[in-house]
Chains A and B, each alone.
Chain A
Amino acid sequence: MKYIILSLAVFLSACSTTVPVKQKFPDAPKELFEKCPNLNIIEPGKTAITDLLKTVVSNYALYYECSIKQEGWTDWYGEQKKNFDKANEK
């Protein structure tokens, strides 16, 4: 029995193989990590419609800036996934 175990161990040792290759998870650009800022509010005491309009315009701009970042994340994920899949296909 011990000869069988020994011979099995010897023969199976030829099958042991470690693959020392690791794929690093890509780092996303730091620009995408910036948080979307809070929207602006109209300062107390300002009652002109132009102040209201200016605040609304700057809030629209903040929305679109945030939307650009979100789009950036979507593009980043899509492109990196394509790249990852390409590297891993056989």
Chain B
Amino acid sequence: MWQLTWILSFLPNWFWILLLIGSIASVILSRFFLVYKLPMKIGGAIGLILSVWMLGAASNEAKWEARVKELEEKLLVAEQASKQINTEIVEKVVTNTKVVQGKAKTIIEYIDRWNTKEVIVEGPERIKREEVIKYIEMCPVPAAIIDAHNAAATLNKAAEEPKK
């Protein structure tokens, strides 16, 4: 049935207003024409119903089109906001990751200094480093502790389901 509405919707709005006025006039004037009384009444009634219906449909269509346009504008704004959110989140993730990696690198470099005997610092820091180096040389970590560490570091493998 929508095809009928679609075809009729090509007619301009003024046509339906004109038909409405004409139909009302036809119904009113029908009483003055004895010969054409019935055809004028029937034609007027049909025209009245059709024009009111089409004007209603056009008004409904216009209302929906306005809503669609409004929604499209809202979605466009939301899409742009969504892209902005993504950019901000990526920037935050990348920056924070770089900070963490940088700090970890600094700590590892600091630990690496204990692996060399060429201590170039003086004062209490030198004493501290020498103590640490001495401790490292004298106390190797037992294999059991390393195994326990490695077992803990690979805990996720236990959670993985065996492949069938």
Q: Do A47 and B101 touch (CB < 8 A)?
A: no
* A18-60 to B contact mask, C-beta < 8 Å, 1/0: 0111011011110110000011111000111111111111111
* Also in contact, A76 and B5, with CB within 8 A (given A21-B75, A42-B146, A84-B78): no
B141 within 8 A of A: yes
Specify which chain A residues have a CB less than 8 angstroms from the CB of B107 in the assembled complex.
Answer: 57
Q: Complex formed: what's the CA distance from A61 to B107 in Å?
A: 10
Which of A29, A42, A49 is within 8 Å of B135, CB to CB?
A49
Task: Name the contact of A80 in the complex, choosing from B82, B112, B114, B149 (C-beta under 8 A).
Answer: B82
In contact, B101 and A41 (Cβ under 8 angstroms): no
A-B contact pairs, 19 of them (CB 8 A): A13-B2, A14-B53, A19-B67, A38-B153, A38-B156, A42-B149, A47-B142, A48-B141, A49-B135, A50-B114, A52-B141, A53-B111, A55-B153, A58-B104, A80-B82, A80-B85, A83-B81, A87-B75, A87-B78
Give chain B's interface residues, CB within 8 Å of chain A: 1-2, 4-5, 53, 56-57, 60-61, 64, 67-68, 71-72, 74-75, 77-79, 81-82, 85-86, 89-90, 92-94, 96-97, 100-101, 103-104, 107-108, 111-112, 114-115, 135-136, 139-143, 145-146, 149-150, 153-154, 156
